[in-house]
Structure formats: structure tokens, C-alpha cells
Chains A and B, each alone.
Chain A
Amino acid sequence: MATETNGAETGGLEFHPMDQFIVSPLFSDDASVAWYTITNATFWMALAVLATFAMLVLGSARRSVVPGRMQSVAELAYGFIHKMVEDICGKEGLKFFPYIMTLFMFIVMANFLGLIPTAFTPTAHFSVTVVLALAVFITVTVVGFVKNGAAFLSLFWVSSAPLALRPVLAIIELISYFVRPVSHSIRLAGNVMAGHAVIKVFAGFAAIAVISPVSVLAITAMYGLEVLVAFIQAYVFTILTCVYLKDALHPAH
């Protein structure tokens, strides 16, 4: 409400940069949202799933030894994540390849679909990224203890440091371990949200005729940046997942 009032005072400018993140029901005028309500979030998540399906399943439908365009894209995505998991986690990490691929495909598709004007971006929501990050955190912790037992705790005991420093380092390591899901989730949602909000702010300035060309240029530039961010943040989220998983598989420093 505050922005609206301010907008009115500064000559008809209206900024609603955060309205694009509002969750609203698709098939009802009633604004109440229960956990099962089909909302715009549902719709765009479903689109992300469909896009993943189209890219990886329909793309590889022909199974040709010499790939066509669509199959090349599917194979590229497969090879990209497969190599990342193998390089970082080693051979035994490949068990988790479908899981990591799921995270990557969902995030990258949600990010890119969110770049369509008037779209809703699920990955700009902490509710979504927190679940994703917590899933990774819980998986890593469980896998770490199941595979290594108590030896997993050696992750916090830096054996290469002088003995006197080790308890201090253990506390720091422990804190950093529990901060991981926080930074993991806020990084993704924060980046995506900030870019989308900035584009909306620039769009608000376009109402002033003199500034509008600059505004349009700025939106274009920001959009280009956002295309990069959409991919890079998905990549960063995935690679961090691999790094955390590596800790669970090989906890020794």
C-alpha cells in the first residue's frame, strides 16, 4: 500500500515489483489458498515438469545413434549433469544422478519459464527453495551417517589442523554445516527474485515518456542478465548439491 501512495505523490508512477510473486488460485475468485488449491504456482510447476518431459523424453524418443537436434539437447543435459556428478562425487555418487538431475531440470525449467512475461516463478519463492535445500541437507546427512556411521563426524574434526585449534574449527565447521541449507535456498530464491523485481521497477519507469527508451533498454539488458542468472543459479544449486554429497560419501578432509 505504501508504494501505491508514494506512486501517487510522484506523478502517477506505480511500482508493484512484488506483485508477480503473489500466489493466487487459478479457478476461483476467492483469494483463499488451501494446501490443495490449484494456483498459479501449481500451473507453472506443472509446466516445468512438462517441459522437462518434452525435452528429455520426447527429445530422446527416436533413440537414434546419430542424434537429431532435440536428442542432442537431451543428451547434452544428461552429459552435463552426469559428468558433474561423476567428477565431484566419484563413481559411487552416480547412484544419486537421477535425484540431482531432477533438482537441476526442475530448477532450470522453472527459472526459464519464469522469464516469460507475466509468468510466475516458483524458484523465486523461499517456500520452494527451502524445501529443495532441506531435501538436499537431509539426504546428505542421512547418507553420510548411513554410509560412514560415526565416522561421518570426522567431517567436523579437521585432522590437518593443530590439535589446539581443532575444537574451535569443529564449532565453525558445525555452524557452517547447518548454515548450508539457508545459504543454499536463499541464494537461488534471492537471485531470481531480485532480477525479476528489478525488471518490474524499470518497467514502472517506462510510464514517463522521456525515460521510457532508457527504461526499455535497461529492461532488455536486465533480461539478458536474467537469462544468464536463470541457468547459472540452477547450475550453482546443482554443483553445491554435488559438493555436499561428496562430503557425505567421503567425509575425510
Chain B
Amino acid sequence: MATVTTSDGLADATGIATHAAETPGMPQLNFDHWGNQIFWLILALIATYLILSRVALPRIGAVLAERQGTITNDIAAAEDLKVKAQEAEAAYDKALIDARAEAQQIVAQAKADMQADLDAEMSKADAEIAAQVAESEKAIAEIRAGAMDNVQAVAKDTAEALVAALGGTADATTVDAAVDARMKG
């Protein structure tokens, strides 16, 4: 209660009625102190205002704006990349389809080439076979002709032998003629 006592003393000294001291209630209503508080309050407010308006608020505002800018840029970049990815996917799909078509074309081409080769080989083989057949037939014909000659010779020999055996005298020219006649008949 030191303060109250002093204010008592002050009041006595200045001769003012001791009303304030009798109601210890509200120091807020001690108007002697208002000047002091108002003075320091105004100083504090000016200091706060200068700190805020010169340094703090522009700085925080700039940081927030910068962040907003960064976010906007990043979103735009992400959109760009998304579009690019879609384009790349489309290009990839197109390349795949092209490649597939090309592959099918190559397969068809290869098939056709092989067919042509095969056909050529087949016809060549056929021709060779035909040639061989003809040759063989010729050989058979020769063989057959040879065989007829042999048969004729054998028949003449046999006829001479038969004529001799039957006691005739085999005239070679007659026998030959007879045999030839028989062979033709």
C-alpha cells in the first residue's frame, strides 16, 4: 500500500481533497498518470507502425506474393508437362501402330518372296524331272531296241539250229528272211 500512502501524502501536500485516496478503487481513474501513459503509448504506437510499415509488412507481403507466384508457375509447368506427356503417348501409340503395319507388310513381302522362290524351284525341279523322264524313256527304248535285235539274232540262230536238227541244210539267207517275215507278222 506504499503507493496509496504516498498519494495520500501528495494530496495532503497539494491541499486537494483526499477523495482519490479515500477510494483506492481504480488507479485507472488517477488522471495524474494519464499524461505519462498517453505519451509512452503514442511513442509505442509510432514505433510499432514504423516497424510494421517499413520492414515487417512489405517483407511478409513479398514472401507471400513470391510463394503465390511460385505455386502458379509450378502449376503451369505441371500443365505443360502433362500436355507433353500426352503428346508423347500419342506419338508412341502412332509409332507402335506404324511399326505393326510395317511388320505385317514385311511378313507379307517375305511370304510372297518365299512363294515366288518356291514356285521357281518347283518348276525347275519339274523341268528336271521331265528331262530325266525323257532320258530314261529314251534309254528304255534303246534297251528295248537292243533286246529286239538280240531276240532276232537268237531266233535266227535257233531257226538254223532247228533246221540243222531236222536234217535240212540251213541256208542262212532263207532263214533270215523267214525269221524277219515272222517277226514282222
Contacts and interface: CB of A to CB of B under 8 A. Distances in A.
B24 A102 contact: no
Interface string B1-20: 11110110010000000000
A2 B24 contact: yes
A33 B40 contact: no
B3 A37 contact: no
B3 A60 contact: no
A127 B31 CA distance: 8
A8 interface: no
Contact of B41 (A78, A124, A131): A131
Interface in B10-69: 10, 21-30, 32-45, 47-49, 51-53, 55-57, 59-64, 66-67
B37 A41 contact: yes
A97 B57 contact: yes
Interface residues of A, number: 58
What secondary structure prevails in chain A residues at the interface with B? Answer: helix
29 contacts: A2-B22, A2-B23, A2-B24, A18-B26, A19-B27, A22-B27, A23-B30, A23-B36, A31-B7, A33-B32, A33-B36, A34-B35, A35-B35, A39-B33, A39-B36, A41-B37, A52-B48, A52-B51, A52-B52, A57-B51, A57-B59, A60-B63, A65-B63, A74-B56, A78-B61, A98-B53, A103-B45, A122-B37, A189-B28
Contact of A18 (B27, B33, B34, B38): B27
Interface residues of B, number: 49
Contacts of A98: 49, 52-53, 57
Nearest to B34: A127
A128 interface: yes
Contacts, number: 150
A253 interface: no
A86 interface: no
A137 interface: no
Contacts of A60: 56, 59-60, 63
Contacts of A63: 59, 62-63
A34 B47 contact: no
A75 B48 CA distance: 17
B19 to A, nearest CB: 12
B16 to A, nearest CB: 14
A74 B7 CA distance: 43
B39 A35 contact: yes
Interface string B154-172: 0000000000000000000
A53 to B, nearest CB: 5
Given A52-B51, A127-B28, A23 B60 contact: no
